[in-house]
Structure formats: C-alpha cells, structure tokens
Chains A and B, each alone.
Chain A
C-alpha cells in the first residue's frame, strides 16, 4: 500500500509542493534563527576562545563577563606567579580606547596589551606581518575586519568603501602615535569594535592615567596540575577570581543570557517560526487528508485496516517531513555560507541539526496525528454519499 500512499501524496502536485514548502520554511526558521543566535552568543566570548595558551584567567572578583573590566594592581601578577602549580602567569590589558583616524574622526577600539616579552594572548591568525613586529616602537596589530572597514582610510570618492588600513599606516591612540605592523584575523566580538593588539607596556601608555591597569592575569598550569584545584588555590591566596577558560566563557555567556534581551528575542522568533511552520504544514497536510478522505473511505470500505491507513499517512508525513527538513537545513547552510564574510553572526553546529530535526518531526507528528484521527474515525459508508 506504500506506493498508493506515495502516489496519493504526489498526485496533487500543488498541495504536495505546498506541504513541502511549509515544512521547508519551518525548518529554515528553526535552524537559521538559532544559528544566528548561537553566532551572536559565541561572539560574547570569542575574545576568550581566541586566546588559546592560558588555562586559567585571573581577574577582579567583581568581574561579571569578559568586557566588564575591573582593573587590578600590577602586583597581583607577582602574587599569582608565586602560587604553586602555576607554570607561568602573564599580564593582559584590555580596554576601550578611542583611535583618531587620518580624516580626524574617532573610532572606539578594543585595545589589548600583551606581555612585552612573550606576547602571550596575541591574535590567533596573522594575515599580514608578524606578531614579533609588536616589539618595534609604536607598533600595533589591527584586526582585518577593523582594517577593512571602521579603521579604514576615507575613500577619495564620497560614498565609496574606505581604503583598507595597511602595514605602515598610522593612527592616534589617546594622542599617541601607533603604527600598523600587522593585520590579524580574530573572531568578531559582540560589540563588533575593531581590535588592536600591542604590548602591555605600550597599552598602559595609550590608556588614560589610572592607578590600576591590569585587566587579567593569564595563567598556564604546570603539567598534570588539576585546574579546579589550582583555581581554588589562586582564589584563596589572592582573593581574586580565577576561572578556567571554559568557565570564563560560560560566565560571559550566562551574563548575556540573563542580562540581555537576546535570548528572549530569538526565542520568540524561533517559537513563531515553529508555530507558523506547524500551522502552515499542519493545516496543508490536514487539508490534504480531508481532500483525500473519500479515497481513504474507499480503501477502508474495500477492507483496508486502520493500521494500514495509519502507516500510509505516517509514510506521507515522513516523506514530506524529510524533504522539507533537508531543504530547510540546506537553505540555512547556504545562507550561512553566503554570509560568511559579512558582519552577520552565524554558527551552525551539528546539535542544531538535531534541534531543527526534532522540531520538524514534531510538526509532522502533529500534522499526521490530526489526520490519522480523522481517518480512523471515518465511517467507510461515506463512500456511498454522493
């Protein structure tokens, strides 16, 4: 009876395409919107994930997330270095400073000061130049997205794209000259501001005069050292907060989840997508069953059992569900691919495939169930009605 079910489904091309399109739309919304949400949330801790070497981040106990800088005294670095189990500990400055561009306009940038000797915490990928060039005087490394856009030089033709910042170009950071010696690829941050890397000492020069300027202490644990034990020792010995890399990412992620409207906004959009998709697909599928009710009645009158009819409807639902899901997920992947070089946040982990697959399955089960109930309750005597 399977081929009869499939022929019934595909016989009416308009309705068949309508059901598949409804499920494609639902699958697209249920995959694309969470992918944007995940991309956006990943940006909240992208700065942490870009810094690969340290095992533990040490900071002021009042820090709530990575951009919530509460500076510490430089002496904290030496206290941390003195704790047993610490292989090395390096300072890091992170702050927002205004850069004066060649046309006189200002652009707020994230300035990151790295340990002068080791340059630990530097950009993950260098596009142009070398990270060691930061040892030259007044040198900075700029992230490529900032260099191409916000820190770019104004185009001679008004309205055109800015001319990208190149190695050798200069800008002013808090009235100090800064010369670009490298272009780096870094993950976009949540605030989407350009990222500038320099040495810790130079960053302190660029930053406004303050008593405390140390943002983080980056710690590498000795080999075989239990990280949770070490973070506990750092906290106890210094009174500072210490998090493993994943704990700090989670702290930042949770802050944005609890204190911003992003989750609820995206949640609503995903929920609406689900409801609209379910309504469209469910109703179209139900209408399809209603239109075929007489045919199901004929099959029932001729001796087809409810179980066989149920299998036929489930087969129809599984088929349109699989096609709709595949198309929706494919379109989402295509969307993500086409947007890969834009500012749009997009992350498409395999777990999302399971999430949207479960969503589309729910819609199909719902649509199939209401249809099945109708067919099971159907009196075969309907076939004799004119």
Chain B
C-alpha cells in the first residue's frame, strides 16, 4: 500500500480513442485519489469517460499519458505478465451485465479468480462456496446463471469479485439492471461485505438512488472530473442537489 494510505492515485490521465475518422478525448487531464477503505462513486452522463477511467484504474486499459498508481504501483510501466498477475491478485470486478460464465454453476463462477491465481479447482470451489454463503446464496451453489434471478446473479458476481480478497473492487453500473429494492440490497451487500479498511471500492453508476452509499462522489463530464463531493459533508438530498 502507498505510504499515504491511497489505493489509487490518478494524475493528469489522458486517454484518446482514435476511431479512424476522428479522435475522441475520453479522459482529459483527470486527477483523482481514492483512499483505502473508501467507496468512491463515479457519476456523470453517458460518454463522459466514467468507464474509461474505471478501466484505466483497474489496469485493463492503458492511458495515453499521465500516471495511474494502484497501491503505489504504476501499472503502465509494469511488464504485461506482471500486470496480469497484479490484476489477478489485487482487483475484483463487478459488471453491469454480471458477465458470469453461463455454462459454469455459481460455485464454479465464483472460483474462477482463485483458479486464475493458481489454486486447485476443488479447493477453489470450497472457498467459493463459503463466500457464496456469505452473500446469502449458500443454497444455490450448483445453480447455473440462467437459473438465478438478476439480483442473485449480481450477488454471485460480487462473491466472484470478493473471493480472492482483492484490495480494489471496481463495479460498473452494478444496480442498473436491477429493480430499486434489489439494487439497494446489492449496494448494502457491497458496502457491508466488500468494503473494508484495507480495500477500496470504485463504483460507476447512473443510479441516483444509491448515491447515499458513497463516501465520495466524483462527477464527470466530457472527460473531466468536474466536482468531487464528500458525503460526510451532506445528506443524500444535499448530495443529489450538489451534483
């Protein structure tokens, strides 16, 4: 971990997509720090650069300039194999569309990050089962994703993001495919189970109903972070108003 307790430090990040005919600046001189034990939400209109920023932070997309340090490590200078290993050990993902492997059951899906990290399959599935119990799906270990509801699938995805005990969890629109109540349950689960003092959560969301779960909210527009609001400074209503 960084000496100053930072999980993520982004400085002057620029990312430009070259679509052939034109160049689109997705991130333009973005600066953002995320502390350990913090739940940071990235909000803003579609196309404002939230997903690009979360991809850079998670180390699955290289920025064109600027530096992004994850626990003090600058991923862009890391050899690709080291970067893969670093990502496999330290980052957990929760996706909008769940992205569970449809032919694997819940326990097998959750065990994937452990298998990627070299754990034996049987042991990985045992550990996965324990985490699934933690998220309330102990009875659905052998269910395929198609046999689970949207909320249950997202809980499997959260278990998958947690199982290898990563220091950063990135979530892309984790509640947008869910109804309000289920979304609220999923966010509560994320906050209760996933958020620890040695772990940071970055959540991209459009869903204003879940803003109150955030420690800080960074509002983005047109590739810039235009505002960062600290929840300690306001109520849910004032947060919405501030944004």
Contact B88 A302 (CB under 8 A): yes
Instruction: Indicate if A240 sits at the interface (CB-CB under 8 A).
Output: no
* CB of B105, distance to nearest CB on chain A (Å): 9
Chain A residues near B68 (CB-CB < 8 A): none
**1/0 per residue A127-170: CB within 8 Å of B?**
00000000000000000000000000000000000000000000
**Distance, CA A274 to CA B46, complexed state (A):** 48
Contact B61 A1 (CB under 8 A): no
Instruction: Indicate if B84 sits at the interface (CB-CB under 8 A).
Output: yes
Instruction: Indicate if A299 sits at the interface (CB-CB under 8 A).
Output: yes
Determine the residue in chain A with the shortest Cβ distance to B81: A305
Instruction: Indicate if B116 sits at the interface (CB-CB under 8 A).
Output: yes
**Distance, CA A299 to CA B109, complexed state (A):** 11
Within 8 A of B (CB), among A1-19: 1, 3-4, 7-8, 10-12
Within 8 A of A (CB), among B76-124: 81, 84-85, 87-89, 91, 93, 95-97, 99, 101-104, 108, 112-113, 115-117, 121
Chain B residues near A298 (CB-CB < 8 A): 93, 95, 99, 101
Instruction: Indicate if B60 sits at the interface (CB-CB under 8 A).
Output: yes
Partner of B115, one of A4, A295, A379, A381: A4
Instruction: Check A12/B84 contact, CB under 8 A, given A301-B58, A302-B112, A303-B113.
Output: no
Looking at A295, A298, A301, the one whose CB has the most chain B CB atoms below 10 A away is: A301
Chain B residues near A386 (CB-CB < 8 A): 96-97, 173
Contact B104 A384 (CB under 8 A): no
Instruction: Indicate if A121 sits at the interface (CB-CB under 8 A).
Output: no
Determine the residue in chain A with the shortest Cβ distance to B88: A303
Contact A10 B103 (CB under 8 A): yes
Within 8 A of A (CB), among B47-94: 51-52, 54-55, 58, 60-61, 81, 84-85, 87-89, 91, 93
Contact A11 B116 (CB under 8 A): no
**Distance, CA A305 to CA B55, complexed state (A):** 17
Contact B103 A12 (CB under 8 A): yes
Instruction: Indicate if A323 sits at the interface (CB-CB under 8 A).
Output: no
Instruction: Indicate if A383 sits at the interface (CB-CB under 8 A).
Output: yes
Contact A8 B88 (CB under 8 A): no
Contact A7 B93 (CB under 8 A): no
Instruction: Check A384/B55 contact, CB under 8 A, given A8-B101, A10-B103.
Output: yes
Contact B99 A383 (CB under 8 A): yes
Contact A303 B117 (CB under 8 A): yes
**Distance, CA A202 to CA B196, complexed state (A):** 107
Instruction: Indicate if B172 sits at the interface (CB-CB under 8 A).
Output: yes
**Distance, CA A299 to CA B115, complexed state (A):** 11
Looking at B91, B93, B116, the one whose CB has the most chain A CB atoms below 10 A away is: B116
* CB of A22, distance to nearest CB on chain B (Å): 20
Instruction: Check A379/B61 contact, CB under 8 A, given A7-B101, A10-B103, A305-B84.
Output: yes
Instruction: Indicate if A191 sits at the interface (CB-CB under 8 A).
Output: no
* CB of A116, distance to nearest CB on chain B (Å): 77
For chain A, give the interface size range. 20 to 34
**Distance, CA A8 to CA B117, complexed state (A):** 19
Contact B60 A301 (CB under 8 A): yes
Instruction: Check A4/B61 contact, CB under 8 A, given A299-B116, A303-B84, A384-B55.
Output: no
**Distance, CA A380 to CA B81, complexed state (A):** 14
Contact B112 A4 (CB under 8 A): yes
**Distance, CA A128 to CA B81, complexed state (A):** 77
Chain A residues near B112 (CB-CB < 8 A): 4, 299, 302
Instruction: Indicate if A304 sits at the interface (CB-CB under 8 A).
Output: yes
* CB of A313, distance to nearest CB on chain B (Å): 15
Within 8 A of B (CB), among A280-312: 294-295, 298-305, 308
Within 8 A of A (CB), among B149-167: none
Instruction: Check A302/B104 contact, CB under 8 A, given A3-B121, A384-B172.
Output: no
**Distance, CA A294 to CA B93, complexed state (A):** 14
Contact A7 B116 (CB under 8 A): no
**1/0 per residue A175-205: CB within 8 Å of B?**
0000000000000000000000000000000
Determine the residue in chain B with the shortest Cβ distance to A9: B103
* CB of B126, distance to nearest CB on chain A (Å): 15
Contact A303 B99 (CB under 8 A): no
Determine the residue in chain B with the shortest Cβ distance to A386: B96
Instruction: Check A381/B61 contact, CB under 8 A, given A8-B103, A11-B102, A298-B99.
Output: yes
Contact A301 B93 (CB under 8 A): yes
**1/0 per residue A362-386: CB within 8 Å of B?**
0000000000000000011101111
* CB of A250, distance to nearest CB on chain B (Å): 54
* CB of A367, distance to nearest CB on chain B (Å): 20
**Distance, CA A294 to CA B145, complexed state (A):** 15
**Distance, CA A362 to CA B177, complexed state (A):** 44
Partner of B104, one of A4, A301, A304: A4
Chain A residues near B97 (CB-CB < 8 A): 386
Within 8 A of B (CB), among A248-300: 294-295, 298-300
Chain A residues near B91 (CB-CB < 8 A): 302-303
**Distance, CA A295 to CA B93, complexed state (A):** 13
* CB of B233, distance to nearest CB on chain A (Å): 30
Further 9 A-B residue pairs, CB within 8 A, beyond A300-B60, A305-B84, A386-B173: A4-B101, A295-B101, A302-B88, A302-B116, A303-B88, A381-B60, A383-B95, A384-B51, A384-B95
Nearest 10 Cβ contacts at the A-B interface = A11-B103, A303-B88, A380-B60, A381-B55, A381-B61, A7-B103, A303-B87, A384-B51, A298-B99, A384-B172
Can you name 23 A-B pairs with beta carbons within 8 Å?
A: A7-B101, A8-B101, A8-B103, A11-B101, A295-B99, A295-B101, A298-B101, A299-B112, A299-B116, A300-B60, A301-B60, A301-B93, A303-B85, A303-B91, A303-B116, A305-B81, A379-B61, A380-B60, A381-B60, A383-B93, A384-B55, A386-B96, A386-B173
